[in-house]
Structure 1
Amino acid sequence: MTKNLKVTVTVAAVAAAVLALVLLVSRPSTPAPESAEASAGSPVSSEVLVRENSHRLSTAADGRVTLVEFLDFECEACRAAFPLVEQLRDEYAGRVTFVTRYFPIPSHANAENAAVAVEAAARQGRFEEMYQRMFETQAQWGEQRESKVDVFRGFAADMGLDMAAYDRAVADPNTLERVLADKRDGEAAGVQGTPTFYLNGVQLRVRSGDDLRAAIDLALNR
């Protein structure tokens, strides 16, 4: 096995292990026998989980099933979950609404900066592209104490954004307030770490990606 292949296999294994850990966190000690979903309490109001200005990666016309993710762009577990979310979007296109909410963790030095950069891109209609760029490049800038705002600005330039407008958005206090508003909603909903998923208002406790699919299928078939 070549050195590069060994590195690739190791990274994939670590990502899989991190995702498995995320999906196991806070699961019920005794799973419900006929359901792949479990609740941390009463369902959370849709007015808290999905605001009018919440970012929707995909939208289902009937609006019956909504999956909300609170995430931190510097969170390794969120990075591990990212490919699964992208796959689920393809599998359930047109049937499930996928909503993304910001929840930067204070211990991550650039989580808030990253969220502000994504929100600044969103003002130019480029939320999804910057959201994806953050996770695709996380290994380059994550887990570092110095500010990476210049790195994020470079992403914006590479994407061809209007840089004067981007700089104004980053400097605008309302952009940060938009990020923090998401976080306040997450705290009100009971989010304690990232990623945290809610399916039709119920916080999910699942063991694997297959369990997440099963929970979505159950919601679709009700």
Structure 2
Amino acid sequence: MTKNTRLTLAAVVALMLLLGIPLLVKRSDEPRPAQQTGGIVDAAVLVREDSHRLSTAAAGRVTLVEFLDFECESCAAAYPAVSELLTTYGDRITFVVRYFPIPSHPNAELAARVAQAAANQGRFADMYAKLFENQTDWSHRDDPQTATFLGYARALGLDMTRFQRDLDDPATAARVAKDRTDGLAAGVTGTPTFFLNGRHLSEVRTQQDLTDAIDAALG
């Protein structure tokens, strides 16, 4: 696939995301679990003590959780909107990122481990941005993009010895797998999937819909 083709596909995906067309989402092979009682997922499944928070609300009234795949074009298309939400709402909402690598994406699990290895040095947010902002440079390639990811770690000034050790540590893979297991338990079948105060935002079609849902939750 040429670079121009990838860019065109990315533009189409972004438009489809805004229109809420379900076919844009990559689906995993696992079946959806039974719907949770009352449509609300247990908070303990959606947010763990070690979950990554890009913002934290002191009052704790509104929590938005995104299950994402760094190699997913739809997640990359949503990334600017999410960044805008973080700027708009700041510490009025808690925004939580959970890993949900799709098995058919060749570098998705590796990218999640890269983000986790950066998180071990307190740089999750920086690597999160790096992976999405450069997604077209490394995504959908059959060979592991380890060298590219190591370059991102160097650019962020990380301790490379520790980063490489953490990247290869089975505990890092287990940490990523734990997020994915929670996602499956919550009924996640594709990415991006958002939950607001435990409720799956399946009816959201545009960024404005998401903003309206957050405003309603804030009261």
Q: Shorter-chain-normalised TM-score: which range?
A: 0.7 to 0.9
> Which structure would you say has the larger Rg?
1
Structure 1 residues 87, 11: closer, same or farther in 2, change over 3 A? Answer: farther
Deviations 1:68-87 (A, max 9, x none): 00000000000000000000
State the match for 2:42 in structure 1: 45
State the match for 1:197 in structure 2: 194
CA contact (8 A) 1:73 1:134 kept: yes
Structure 1 residues 40, 47: closer, same or farther in 2, change over 3 A? Answer: closer
Amino acid at match of 2:111: A
Structure 1 gap segments, 5+ residues each:
1-5, 27-38
CA contact (8 A) 1:63 1:96 kept: yes
**Cα distance in 2 for residues equivalent to 1:41 and 1:17:** 32
How many correspondences in the alignment?
A: 202
Please state whether the residue corresponding to 1:92 is helix, strand or coil.
helix
State the match for 1:56 in structure 2: 53
Structure 2 gap segments, 5+ residues each:
24-35
Amino acid at match of 1:203: H
Please state whether the residue corresponding to 1:198 is helix, strand or coil.
strand
Please state whether the residue corresponding to 1:62 is helix, strand or coil.
coil
State the match for 1:3 in structure 2: none
The answer to whether the aligner puts 1:220 opposite 2:180 as a matched pair is no
Deviations 1:154-195 (A, max 9, x none): 110111100000011011100010000000000000000000
4+ long deviations beyond 6 Å:
none
How big is the shift at 1:11?
7.3
State the match for 2:179 in structure 1: 182
The answer to whether the aligner puts 1:143 opposite 2:147 as a matched pair is no
How big is the shift at 1:207?
1.2
Deviations 1:19-55 (A, max 9, x none): 225x4439xxxxxxxxxxxx99620000000000000
Structure 1 residues 40, 145: closer, same or farther in 2, change over 3 A? Answer: farther
State the match for 1:104 in structure 2: 101
How big is the shift at 1:13?
4.1
State the match for 2:87 in structure 1: 90
Structure 1 residues 110, 200: closer, same or farther in 2, change over 3 A? Answer: same
Amino acid at match of 1:220: L
Amino acid at match of 1:157: R
Identity over aligned pairs, percent: 55
How big is the shift at 1:150?
1.3
**Cα distance in 1 for residues equivalent to 2:47 and 2:53:** 9
| TM-score for both structures, normalised by structure 2 | 0.87
Structure 1 residues 18, 146: closer, same or farther in 2, change over 3 A? Answer: farther
Please state whether the residue corresponding to 2:39 is helix, strand or coil.
coil
| TM-score for both structures, normalised by structure 1 | 0.86
CA contact (8 A) 1:18 1:76 kept: no
CA contact (8 A) 1:110 1:147 kept: yes
CA contact (8 A) 1:40 1:203 kept: no
How big is the shift at 1:149?
1.2
**RMSD of equivalent CA atoms:** 2.1
With 12-21 and 167-176 compared, the bigger mean Cα shift is at: 12-21
